[in-house]
Chains A and B, each alone.
Chain A
Amino acid sequence: MEFKKTVMLGALVAGTLAAGVAMAAEQFIGLPSYRVGAYAAGGSGIYGGWIDYMNLINERDGGVGGVKLVWEECETEYNNARGVECYERLKNKGETGNSMFSPLSTGITYSVLDKVADDKIPLVTIGYGRTDAADGRVFPWVFPLITTYWSQATTMIKYIESKEGDLKGKKIVLLYHDSAYGKEPHAVLDRMAADKGFTVEKIAVAHPGNEQQSQWLQIRQIRPDWVILWGWGVMNPTALKAAAKTGFPRTKMLGVWWSGAEEDTIPAGSAAKGFTAAGFNVAGADYPVIKDIKKVVYGKSLGNMEDESRVGSVYYNRGVVHGIIAVEAIRKAQEKYGKGKALTGEQIRWGYENLNIDDKKLAELGAAGFMPPLKTSCMDHEGSGKVKYQSWDGAKWQVVTDWIDADKQMVRGMIEESAAKYAQEKGITPRDCSKEM
């Protein structure tokens, strides 16, 4: 009896081993996720969405070009040192090493910025990270895709302009998280203010931002036409509540994409109604890609979200966007370097640099209107610069605009200026993009 069992077990092991050998190639993706602490709501949503999308690709399509996606999570706790450890731990896993690194933390992004070039792993930062890395000549390995903080700030002014008409003489208050992140839009807004003749008052909120009495009383004194909320975490609902408390209309408040998730509005309750925020992805579960995830992934109980009701939320969908772009980059790289085998980080980097996700492609993916079309090049690692605006109706986010383009000309100039300064400091010779293909 015992013997029989052992034999059977042995056969089973041998069988799986053989199957492992015979199995198709696997593309490894290291996920430096965070699911504990103050950032857990964002981390669990985004990485959950990403993992669900990869499961969808594996289950529905059998992987990308016959290559299964495999991944491993590494808990960073949003801490730079832990992030570096995760980066080093993940980088040599899988058949060809880690394919890409997306830490969803600007601090970790900076901590590994120099390392990715040595290790030849693309660093993909969607909606955060180092803005001037959009200049692919200086930062060949870094991809701040879709849009950057600077681009976003220009779209905010455009949005306000569409509501107010001429901005001359208008007053805008920037209520920002007092950190490097909150200071990102200052230069852009100052320039636009000078161009368009409005004034910007910048009011800092100390981290974590759970007290904003004094700031909002100041805003009440200033009586601005609009308030731009550049917040993070608890600062957002607190701002919305404080706005209600001081009687400032929420319809005149505009949030960044890190202020525009369900996590930011639900805690504010009724005070959040009418608040508008930017997003490079939209909320909603009615898109075919989300429906597919629900059917295929959750149908087989492979879903990553503990709370299935979060599927379709802003953070979750942002994770799906991460998944879509990662998969398309791999697909693109396979076109050049061959299907059916695992690719190296260097090859996938080429995929990221030559992405072309147009409207037709988006429709095929079931993501039309879900995220903006994206086209990258050696020069431009941002690829889009478009955002949509969504308003909170008290229960869910409603899209209120079409994709709004950034003021590319101005932002691009600032990016190149800043990147050139960095290149000079670090002694980097920018690539000649005419030689890249």
Chain B
Amino acid sequence: MFYREAGQFKASYQADQQIFPIIQDRVGIAIVIALAALVIPVIANEYWLKAILVPVLIFSLAAIGLNILTGYAGQLSLGSAAFMAVGAFGAYNFMLRIDGMPFLVALVLGGLAAAAVGVLFGLPSLRIKGFYLAVATLAAQFFIVWALVKFPWFSNYSSSGVITAQDIVILGYTFDGPVAKYLLTLAIVVVLALMAKNLVRTSTGRAWMAVRDMDVAAEVIGIRPMRTKLIAFAVSSFYCGVAGGLYAFTYLGTVEPEGFNLDLSFRILFMIIIGGVGSIMGSFLGAAFIVLLPIFLDNVIPHLFGNLFSASFASNLQLIVFGGLIIFFLIVEPHGLARLWQIGKEKLRLWPFPH
């Protein structure tokens, strides 16, 4: 009843080609964005803005990046965190070494640097498939972090190897408060997410999916696998790179290469698996889930069992429950949170009279 496409006729090609062809989606997205941009800054306190919402948005962007590669183009990667590192260190160096470099341009250039590195490490994907490729992307993960530590030029010869992000100034306005940083992150993430949503239904996106489903078949119908896969690596790494730039500039402020470790790559992979492989919205849901779950457990478990167990056991219990919930979730809903939303939509279509 609430979610019915029937009766929505498209009278022009333009109307037929919108990103969200159904009015409920359009209204829904508009409401969500309006809530996020107008209401949340008013009601959320500093803790929520700084420690929860900004990282969720940034990880959503990284998850979209990985989802493009893994979910749409079918290439498994374990090196997302390293591409984030390239974006972060890239943006920092562009800001540092070029006078008057605007922040947004530096962010995009950082993303492009990540895309270039991504293409380089994507080259083997032409020959290698599946887990062989996944393990091969670990080469990117370890090599990039090693290089960032080893060559002090990247961190401007700081003795500790960390970089401190410069102030964000756009058109003379300095983004320094939590609200300003949140809104900036939100704006960039929304724009890029909409672009991704659009991209995956263009011919490029369809080519990715064809390659994902069967690359030999795709080749037979005239899709060039090399070009398609490398574009996927480039776009994916670009998204991860921009996410890395935001991670450094609007979230942590100071980053070290070792922060972009394998564990972070795994977390991003978790986000797309839990959220839903091949779904842009799933990337947001997955990121929120993976960021919030450990924090939720850390808040709940010591209070529930604080007196029962020692502090060490309570901490380990968090890890056990985290791992257990992930397994449970994969068993119950292997297609991720996005799938739950889809089921919900089906239900809403018929509600309140399901047959």
Contact = CB atoms under 8 A, between A and B. Distances in A.
A47 B252 CA distance: 24
Interface in B109-149: 146, 149
Give 9 nearest A-B pairs by CB, closest first. Answer: A180-B161, A88-B51, A35-B315, A110-B254, A85-B51, A35-B312, A88-B47, A111-B252, A180-B160
Interface stretch (A3-11, A76-84, A233-241): A76-84
A106 B149 contact: no
Contacts of B258: 107, 179-180, 207
A426 B256 contact: no
A114 B315 contact: no
Contacts of A306: 310, 312-313
Nearest to A180: B161
Contacts of A81: 55, 251-252, 291
B159 A82 contact: no
A426 B166 CA distance: 8
Contacts of B160: 106, 110, 130-131, 180, 183-184
A231 B50 CA distance: 34
Nearest to A425: B164
Nearest to B148: A180
Interface string B281-315: 00000000001001100100010000000111101
Contacts of B302: 73
Interface residue SS majority, chain B: helix
Contact of B318 (A33, A36, A85): A36
B199 to A, nearest CB: 28
Contacts of B55: 81, 85
Interface of B: 46-47, 50-52, 55, 146, 149-150, 159-162, 164, 251-259, 263, 291, 294-295, 298, 302, 310-313, 315-316, 318-319
A147 interface: no
Contacts of B159: 131-132, 183-184, 187, 418
A44 B315 CA distance: 10
B162 A180 contact: yes
A73 B259 contact: no
Contacts of A74: 298
Nearest to B54: A84
Nearest to B162: A110
A178 interface: yes
Contacts of B251: 81, 84
A92 B312 contact: no
A176 B258 CA distance: 15
Given A84-B50, A88-B46, A180-B161, 15 more contacts: A34-B315, A35-B312, A35-B316, A36-B319, A73-B302, A75-B298, A75-B318, A80-B255, A84-B51, A92-B47, A110-B160, A113-B164, A115-B253, A184-B159, A306-B310
Interface string A402-436: 00000000000000001000100110000000000
Contacts of B253: 111, 113-115
Contacts of B318: 36, 75
Interface in A76-102: 77, 79-82, 84-85, 87-89, 91-92
A55 interface: no
A113 B254 contact: yes
A251 to B, nearest CB: 31
Contact of B52 (A47, A85, A106, A206): A85
Given A33-B311, A179-B149, A89 B47 contact: yes
A17 interface: no
Interface in A364-417: none
B58 to A, nearest CB: 9
A304 interface: yes
A85 B295 contact: yes
A336 B67 CA distance: 57
A40 interface: yes
A77 B291 CA distance: 13
A48 B311 CA distance: 9
Nearest to A40: B312
Contacts of B164: 110, 113-114, 422, 425-426
A111 B254 contact: yes
